[in-house]
Amino acid sequence: METTRLETLADGVFAIAATLLIIDVSVEAHGDELGAALAHAWPQYAAYAISFLTIGIMWVNHQAIFRQIGRADHRFQFLNIGLLLCIAFVPFPTRLVAEHLRDDGLQVAAYAYGLTMTATAICFGSLWFYAAVGRRLIADTADERVVRGISRSYLPGAPIYALSTLVAVWSPEASVGLFAAIAIFFALESSLFGGSRP
């Protein structure tokens, strides 16, 4: 079974999930208060940028996985759908964090965001290891060192997000700061050294 339509579907979901984030950015204000209202709404832009970047990183990783994949089976299709289910969910907790960045709801919002990212990392790992173990779905031409490198890089993903979520028990602000730092770190690291991690 070929992977072409799996990738088309995935690209569609990535593009829509990322682009839908802008629907949640909105500012209502009378004319003369627009400047102040736009300045006050900065968490919305930050949330938009961090989430777009996060979904972008996920897309880069999805692509990195599929370059090593030679074929698909039914279980792989459903693991892929489970992953897309998580990714399409990202706009919801993102909105929660942006809305509650400056009130008592931030702790709960940080849990929601962190659990979503942890679940996404677990789905990413499941998709990859299902394909990679015993080179079940790996293309014959794929270099074993690249495959092992991806496997190693997937191990820390879920624990890093789970620990960052736990930090919200003591400080929701620190937890949200960690989520932003992870996104920026992976984007920079990926650009600077060419690695590909969850």
Give min distance, CB of 77 to a copy of itself, in A. 5
* Phi then psi dihedrals of residue 159, to 5 deg: -60, -40
DSSP 141: T
Give min distance, CB of 45 to a copy of itself, in A. 8
Q: Calculate the dihedral angle through the C-alpha atoms of 59, 61, 63, 65, rounding to the nearest 10 degrees.
A: -150
Q: Which two tokens stand for residue 175?
A: 């937890």
* Of residues 17 and 158, the one with the C-beta less far from a copy of itself: 17
* Of residues 73 and 159, the one with the C-beta less far from a copy of itself: 73
* Of residues 7 and 177, the one with the C-beta less far from a copy of itself: 7
Binding site for a copy of itself (CB under 8 A): 1, 5, 7-9, 11-23, 25-27, 29-35, 38, 48-49, 52-53, 56, 59-60, 63, 66-67, 73-75, 77-78, 81, 84-85, 88-89, 91-92, 95-96, 100, 103-106, 108-109, 112, 187, 190-192, 194-196
Give min distance, CB of 183 to a copy of itself, in A. 11
Q: Which two tokens stand for residue 8?
A: 């088309």
DSSP assignment of 14-55 equals: HHHHHHHGGGG------GGGHHHHHHHTHHHHHHHHHHHHHH
